């Protein structure tokens, strides 16, 4: 038989990151068997089905149409371009499922102050903290915000990222929140990057609403959200639910408004304390709960039941000198999918490197290399509700692929800073790195 294809990748080892075996049956098995501790399935067919050694992959019109052992490669349209991967490794393009990438200014001055022992609370009292980023973002033009975000997104692409989530939340007024989301949408039109936008109007209480949090939330629900939905600017809605953020009742108001508009929800939850945000999020079948250092067993059970992804953000944990780690063992026990993201933002995680986050998730939180890789591919796709389209290398999915000059996929977690990307394709088209 002959299959239609415009590009054929040969001589490749393929880490599919798929939850499905090549024959379509569901597998629950590691790619990196040697690094999985106490796993009941460390060998056998299931594991091998997630890795294809000596493999080939056929792309047609941006989608994967065939992958498997090279010896089984069917004949492909003669016009197809054939590219050898010289025995290197293919993975899906990486997915950063939690960022605050659109903002103006930076907070390097605060970084220096904190290093000198000045507390975050004191810095905030002097007009620093999130409000300083809000001020700078409000002052910036749309073009300035776009240029800043463009260079950050480009830096991410060069590290193998082909999909990124971008939240609003540094405007905290209607005009600037809309502008931030428009900038995110515009980036997708110019860069080889899938962008999922999240409206985070309930990120912090702006100064002009001091003492009037309920009024602000009403404005978020009744004015901001309907405009954002009308312009189709957001793919999801998020809230910072915390003792120092918004309450459970305020969070639920935003969730109800989002649901009314047909938008899925996510939540910054259980970062500094356990206020029950994850349980609330599970009742609204949230795509993800993020941070979750203080999540307890009841919360883990709740998100397991709702199919919600646990997004771990080791960059913020590291920058804030936190000591409470997310409940990784419980998440494993209840089979909650774990994703890993940068939380890239100017305050608590000024780090735009998803590969560094894989390493940190392993070092700081004890994730296996397999879990870290799942966390930036298939589970990150689930956290954005796009796992039917991207996140793994499977027939029918978009051909977002990275070719790495590594000996084994675990090297991507183990080493940092070597930039081992050989090639990259976005929807089947070569990305200029
Ligand atoms: Zn965040």
Asked if residue 381 lies in contact with residue 387, where contact means CB atoms within 8 angstroms, the answer is: yes
pTM, entire model: 0.94
Ligand 1: centre distance to CA 177 (Å)? 16
Asked if residue 354 lies in contact with residue 322, where contact means CB atoms within 8 angstroms, the answer is: no
Residue 125: what pLDDT? 78
Please give the structure tokens belonging to residue 95.
Answer: 């997915």
Cβ atoms within 10 A of the Cβ of 315, count?
A: 27
Ligand 1: centre distance to CA 57 (Å)? 36
Nearest to 10 by CA among 65, 79, 90: 90
Ligand 1: centre distance to CA 335 (Å)? 24
Ligand 1: centre distance to CA 176 (Å)? 18
* ∠ Cα 288 291 292 (to 5°): 85
Ligand 1: centre distance to CA 256 (Å)? 21
DSSP 300-340: HHHHHHHT-EEEE-HHHHHHTT--PPP-HHHHHHTT--EEE
Ligand 1: centre distance to CA 343 (Å)? 5
Return phi, psi of residue 187, to 5°: -60, -40
Cβ atoms within 10 A of the Cβ of 151, count?
A: 9
* CA atoms within 13 A of residue 270's CA, in its CB half-sphere: 29
Residue 46: what pLDDT? 38
Ligand 1: centre distance to CA 342 (Å)? 9
- How large is the C-alpha radius of gyration of the chain? 22
Residue 383: what pLDDT? 98
Ligand 1: centre distance to CA 364 (Å)? 18
Ligand 1: centre distance to CA 312 (Å)? 10
Residue 31: what pLDDT? 53
Asked if residue 281 lies in contact with residue 245, where contact means CB atoms within 8 angstroms, the answer is: no
Strands 288-291 and 309-312: parallel
Ligand 1: centre distance to CA 174 (Å)? 20
Ligand 1: centre distance to CA 98 (Å)? 6
The contacts of residue 33 (CB under 8 Å, 6+ apart) are 39, 42, 43, 47
Across the chain, which has 433 residues, the per-10-residue mean pLDDT values are 95 89 48 40 44 96 97 96 97 98 94 87 82 96 98 98 98 98 98 98 96 98 98 98 94 98 97 95 98 97 98 96 96 97 96 98 96 97 98 97 96 94 97 92
User: What pairs with residue 152 in β-bridges?
Assistant: none
């Amino acid at each position: 038989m002959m299959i239609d294809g415009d590009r054929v990748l040969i001589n490749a080892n393929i880490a599919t990151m798929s939850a499905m075996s090549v024959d379509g049956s569901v597998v629950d098995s590691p790619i990196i068997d040697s690094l999985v501790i106490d796993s009941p399935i460390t060998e056998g067919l299931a594991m091998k089905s997630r890795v294809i050694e000596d493999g080939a992959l056929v792309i047609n019109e941006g989608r994967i149409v065939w992958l498997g052992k090279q010896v089984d490669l069917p004949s492909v349209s003669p016009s197809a371009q054939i590219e050898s991967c010289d025995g290197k490794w293919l993975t899906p393009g990486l997915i950063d499922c939690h960022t605050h990438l659109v903002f103006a200014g930076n907070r390097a001055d605060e970084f220096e102050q904190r290093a000198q022992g000045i507390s975050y609370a004191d810095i905030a009292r002097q007009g620093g903290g999130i409000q300083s980023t809000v001020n700078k973002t409000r002052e910036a033009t749309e073009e300035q915000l776009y240029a800043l975000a463009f260079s950050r997104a480009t830096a991410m692409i060069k590290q193998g990222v082909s999909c990124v989530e971008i939240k609003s939340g540094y405007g905290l007024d209607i005009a600037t929140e809309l502008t931030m989301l428009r900038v995110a949408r515009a980036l997708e039109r110019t860069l080889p990057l899938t962008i999922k936008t999240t409206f985070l109007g309930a990120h912090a209480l702006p100064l002009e609403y001091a003492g009037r949090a309920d009024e602000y939330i009403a404005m978020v629900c009744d004015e901001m959200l309907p405009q954002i939905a009308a312009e189709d600017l957001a793919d999801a809605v998020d809230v910072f639910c915390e003792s120092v953020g918004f309450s459970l009742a305020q969070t639920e108001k935003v969730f109800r408004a989002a649901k009314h508009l047909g938008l899925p929800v996510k939540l910054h939850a259980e970062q500094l304390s356990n206020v029950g945000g994850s349980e609330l999020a599970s009742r609204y079948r949230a795509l993800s709960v993020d941070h979750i250092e203080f999540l307890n067993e009841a919360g883990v059970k709740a998100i397991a039941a709702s199919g919600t992804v646990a997004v771990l953000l080791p960059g913020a944990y590291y920058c804030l000198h936190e000591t409470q780690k997310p409940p990784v063992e419980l998440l494993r026990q209840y089979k909650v999918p774990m994703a890993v993201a940068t939380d890239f933002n100017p305050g608590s995680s000024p780090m735009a490197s998803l590969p560094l986050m894989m390493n940190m998730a392993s070092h700081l939180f004890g994730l296996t290399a397999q879990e870290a890789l799942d966390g930036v591919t298939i589970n990150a796709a689930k956290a954005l509700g796009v796992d039917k389209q991207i996140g793994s290398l499977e027939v029918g999915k978009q051909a977002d692929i990275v070719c790495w000059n590594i000996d084994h996929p675990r090297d991507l977690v183990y080493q940092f800073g070597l930039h081992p990307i050989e090639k990259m394709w976005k929807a089947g088209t070569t990305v200029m790195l």
